[in-house]
Amino acid sequence: MKKLTTFLSFAAVAAMVAGVSGCGGTAGTSGTASSAAPPAAAATTASATAAAVADATAAAAASATVDTSTPETFTVFINDTSGVNWDNPVAQAITAKTGVALKFDIDSTDPDQKISLMCASGQYDDIINIPNLTPDMKALVDANALIKLDDLIEQYGPNIKAFYGDAFDQLRYSPDDPSIYGFGTSGAVGATVPGFEWNGGIWMQSGLLKQLGYPQIKTPDDFENAVKQALALQPTASDGSSMIGITLPTSDGFRFQFSIMFPILGMWGVTNAGDWYLDQSTMKMTYLETEPWFKEGMQFYNKLYNDGVLDPESFTQDYNTYQAKVAQGRVVGLMDQYWEFNSSDISLRSNNPDASYMGLNVMASDALNDKWYLKQSGNLANVGGFAITTACKDPAKFTNFLNWITSEEGQIMIEWGIEGTNYTIDSSGNRVRNPADVATDSKDGIAFLDSTGVKLYRWLEYPAGWKTSNGQVLNSDSLQDITLQFSQPQKDALAAYGYKYFTDIYPQPIDLPIRPYGDPSSVPTGLTDATSVAQQKITDMRVSSISHRRSWLSRISLIRSGASICPTLTPPASTLSRRKSTIAFNNA
């Protein structure tokens, strides 16, 4: 039997190359943490909020106006197939309000390659929704492809500034170039309120858990044993095809992070920081692969493969094949983020409910703290988001579009839809969803989003749990509404394990300590060419690996020989505090 790492090397190289190389710039860009406080860093006082609103309103009054009466279409490069439909009632209403329509240029398979080609040719879309990879931003800046947004935000974006709040300066590219090139959309506002979403990393079919008597699954070994027992109990799926223990979508490069790296981090109680591990007490950064716990995690995957539990096609199949296997009800367990397979799970709820998935909080040791949810933003300039290119003919209009999106009116339309169609106002002044919409959304959430546009454009959105000016929570999905979407086997599994909602399975952010630093993978370090060459050698050795142990030891030796690859960071100047979950909209 082939060793797991023969396949892991193929999958890992794409993820590593994506993390250390980029078009138009020096390979080897990686990250340190920002010394600026993350969005959750400062408590908002009433007086400070009032002052911020007054300042934003004054700025809006002084700003130039934008013609919103004449619709203009902007082309947008995006690497995600979600939220790319501009042919629905909400999109039309947004266009009517802002004069902006969007036409999407989609590449979900290899967005880094597409950006590389853009940089080489000098041909760009009007807007680029930059993937969550620092090298892409650096490459575009180095290629002079992006316009600086500082003056545009000052003139047309008071709501945008309020949206980022204390984190606004994290939009600045670097200390050497403090310009703003993008509207960061990844973790833009760090509210520490109870979560409405459930997105752990370990899953198992609800019906099979019932057949096994709802066993306690606390450790990685517990999970493997449960999957083995389920395979023995049910070797074939309902359509007669053979069952699969666990399958992964790693061949698409960046998905390696979601189905191998992130589950290891979660099971070993470590916060996600890209390819880096940041010791919060010493501020020393090291590659994940040098940490003993990461080696243990990789050995667990190796064991799953050698035991016949892990699908051998995990490292060659494409994403569509992965989703199809899950949707067919053939996969006992998953190690992935829920949004990676949510469309398949939604289909299973209706067509094969016993095969719908139950989340599991699996930890390598009871002594570890589960920090799955503790990923706070680092430098928003480098974590992905909208950037305006030199090809855009009307940057002011697009900036004004995002300014409206971040207003209270815009946020409510994105989240709730159109008043009178998707929701009404009750006698208490609260928004109430159309019951027909709730039923349709519960039955097929993907189709509901595409057909109505409700909740489809959550690019710049305040977090769930935050309140609008009427005191009502912004998020249109209450926990009760979300529960309506679950299949009966999912509800039964929740009850059997003593939970009411999926969010109960995992610790909430408010219960976990705040990290002094945000995401250290999101800020360029300015590494030397020599270091970049060393990093590339580390990547290449993954490809040429022959055996797990030999490959591992060789890479570790090379990594440790280059101390300059792993910088030590400057500790924060002050203790951070949490940002309150209250929105003060400017309505500008």
Please write the tens of the pLDDT for every residue from 379-411.
455 456 899 999 999 999 999 999 999 999 999
For residue 432, being part of any structural domain is answered with no
pLDDT surpasses 90 at 172: no
Confidence of residue 580 (pLDDT cuts 50, 70, 90): very low
Half-sphere CA count of 295, side-chain side, radius 13 A = 11
**Best-predicted range by mean pLDDT (62-76, 188-202, 229-243):** 229-243
Contact 167, 426 (CB under 8 A): no
pLDDT at 432: 93
Distance CA 330, CA 240 (A): 10
Four-residue CA torsion sign, 153, 159, 161, 163: negative
pLDDT at 334: 96
DSSP assignments along 53-70, one per residue = HHHHHHHHHHSPP---SS
pLDDT at 152: 96
**203-255 pLDDT, tens per residue?**
999 999 999 999 999 999 999 999 999 999 999 998 899 999 999 987 766 67
Q: At what angle do helices 395-405 and 408-416 cross, to 10 degrees?
A: 70
Average the pLDDT over 464-489 and give the result: 81
Tokens of 334: 């998953």
Say which CATH number the domain at 103 has.
Answer: 3.40.190.10
Average the pLDDT over 161-182 and give the result: 83
pLDDT surpasses 60 at 433: yes
For residue 507, being part of any structural domain is answered with yes
pLDDT at 515: 56
134 or 105, greater pLDDT: 105
Question: Which value, in Å, is the radius of gyration of the alpha carbons in the chain?
Answer: 24
With a pLDDT cut of 90, the percent of the chain lying above it is 38
Tokens of 126: 């009007």
C-alpha torsion angle, residues 245, 246, 252, 253 (rounded to 10):
-140
pLDDT at 103: 95
DSSP assignments along 390-430, one per residue = TT-S-HHHHHHHHHHHTSHHHHHHHHH--BTTTEEE-TTS-
Distance CA 495, CA 489 (A): 10
Confidence of residue 70 (pLDDT cuts 50, 70, 90): very high
281 or 213, greater pLDDT: 213
Contact 163, 188 (CB under 8 A): yes
Average the pLDDT over 255-259 and give the result: 80
**361-376 pLDDT, tens per residue?**
898 876 555 444 344 4
In terms of domains, do 257 and 178 share one? no
Distance CA 15, CA 342 (A): 22
Q: Which of 84-93, 122-131, 277-286, 388-397 has the lowest mean pLDDT?
A: 277-286
- Could you tell me the end-to-end alpha-carbon distance of the chain, in angstroms, rounded to an integer? 64
Domain count, the chain: 2
For residue 489, being part of any structural domain is answered with yes
pLDDT at 95: 97
In terms of domains, do 123 and 175 share one? yes
3-state DSSP assignment of residue 273 = strand
Q: Which of 75-79, 277-281, 486-490 has the lowest mean pLDDT?
A: 277-281
560 or 119, greater pLDDT: 119
| Residues forming a β-bridge with 173 | none
pLDDT at 52: 39
In terms of domains, do 219 and 348 share one? yes
Half-sphere CA count of 72, side-chain side, radius 13 A = 17
Please give the order of strands across the beta sheet that includes 72-78. 100-106, 72-78, 127-130, 385-388, 183-184
Distance CA 532, CA 300 (A): 30
pLDDT surpasses 50 at 588: no
Tokens of 405: 């999106």
pLDDT surpasses 50 at 584: no
**Other C-beta atoms lying within 10 Å of the C-beta of residue 479:** 16
In terms of domains, do 490 and 352 share one? yes
pLDDT at 127: 95
Confidence of residue 93 (pLDDT cuts 50, 70, 90): very high
CA nearest 417: which of 91, 90, 97, 85?
90
In terms of domains, do 371 and 384 share one? no
What are phi and psi for residue 30, nearest 5 degrees?
Answer: -140, -145
In terms of domains, do 344 and 289 share one? yes
Distance CA 114, CA 497 (A): 46
Distance CA 91, CA 86 (A): 5
Average the pLDDT over 434-460 and give the result: 88
99 or 525, greater pLDDT: 99
CA nearest 203: which of 301, 80, 340?
340
In terms of domains, do 382 and 370 share one? no
Cα 375–Cα 528–Cα 530 angle in degrees, nearest 5:
115
Share the mean pLDDT of the chain.
74
With a pLDDT cut of 70, the percent of the chain lying above it is 65
290 or 454, greater pLDDT: 454
Tokens of 577: 């505090």
pLDDT at 64: 62
For residue 5, being part of any structural domain is answered with no
pLDDT surpasses 70 at 536: no
Name the DSSP letter for residue 38: P
In terms of domains, do 371 and 381 share one? no
In terms of domains, do 213 and 334 share one? yes
pLDDT at 555: 52
pLDDT at 125: 95
For residue 393, being part of any structural domain is answered with yes
Distance CA 117, CA 119 (A): 5
**Best-predicted range by mean pLDDT (26-40, 276-290, 508-522, 534-548):** 276-290
**14-23 pLDDT, tens per residue?**
232 223 223 3
3-state DSSP assignment of residue 180 = strand
In terms of domains, do 275 and 340 share one? yes
Q: Which of 142-146, 287-291, 411-415, 552-556 has the lowest mean pLDDT?
A: 552-556
pLDDT surpasses 80 at 524: no
For residue 80, being part of any structural domain is answered with yes
pLDDT surpasses 90 at 562: no
Domain coverage including residue 307: 202-375+481-511
**Best-predicted range by mean pLDDT (10-14, 33-37, 339-343):** 339-343
For residue 588, being part of any structural domain is answered with no
Average the pLDDT over 304-328 and give the result: 92
3-state DSSP assignment of residue 104 = strand
In terms of domains, do 368 and 409 share one? no
Distance CA 503, CA 192 (A): 14
pLDDT surpasses 50 at 30: no
In terms of domains, do 352 and 386 share one? no
pLDDT surpasses 50 at 165: yes
What's the Cα-to-Cα distance from 448 to each of 79, 243, 376, 409, rounded to whole Å? 21, 31, 30, 21
pLDDT surpasses 50 at 581: no
Give burial (CB, 10 Å; 0-12/13-18/19+) of 156: buried
Is the whole-model pTM more than 0.85? no
**114-153 pLDDT, tens per residue?**
888 999 999 999 999 886 555 788 889 999 999 999 999 9
pLDDT at 425: 96
For residue 547, being part of any structural domain is answered with no
Name the DSSP letter for residue 122: T
Confidence of residue 354 (pLDDT cuts 50, 70, 90): very high
pLDDT surpasses 90 at 492: yes
3-state DSSP assignment of residue 387 = strand
